[in-house]
Amino acid sequence: MTEPHDSSGEPTADAIKSVALAALLDVAQNGHAPAAARAAAARTMLEAIGAIGRLQDLARLDESKRNASEMSSEEIANEISRLSRKLPPPKMRKLKV
C-alpha cells in the first residue's frame, strides 16, 4: 500500500490518481449527472487506459511488448516502419560558412 502523502505532506501521485479515478467513476455512474458530464468522464477514463485517443498506440505497445528476438524479421521491419511514420520530419540547419 502506498502512503497518501509524501514526506513534505503533499499528496502522492498515486493518491491523486486514485481520487481522480474515483471522481470520474462517480460522475460516469451518476444517472442524475448531465449526459455530457457522464460522456466526458467515460471518455477521459477510456483515454487514460489507452482504449481511445492519443494514448492508444502507447497502450498497444505495452500490451505487445516482446523482445526483438521473439519477432520475425518482417514484424521488426513493420514495427520500424510504423514508428518511423510517427517521427516528425528532420529539421535541417544551414551551416554558417
Find out whether 29 and 21 touch, Cβ atoms under 8 Å. Answer: no
For the stretch 78-83, contacts whose Cβ atoms lie closer than 8 Å and that sit 24 or more positions apart, written own/partner, are none
Residue with cell 520530419: 89
pLDDT confidence tier of residue 93, bands split at 50, 70 and 90: confident
Distance CA 4, CA 13 (A): 9
pLDDT confidence tier of residue 18, bands split at 50, 70 and 90: confident
Q: How far apart are the first and last CA of the chain?
A: 61
DSSP for residue 49: T
pTM: 0.50
**What is the predicted pLDDT for the residue at 2?**
54
The pLDDT tens digits of the residues spanning 37-78 come to 999 998 888 888 777 776 666 555 554 566 677 778 888 888
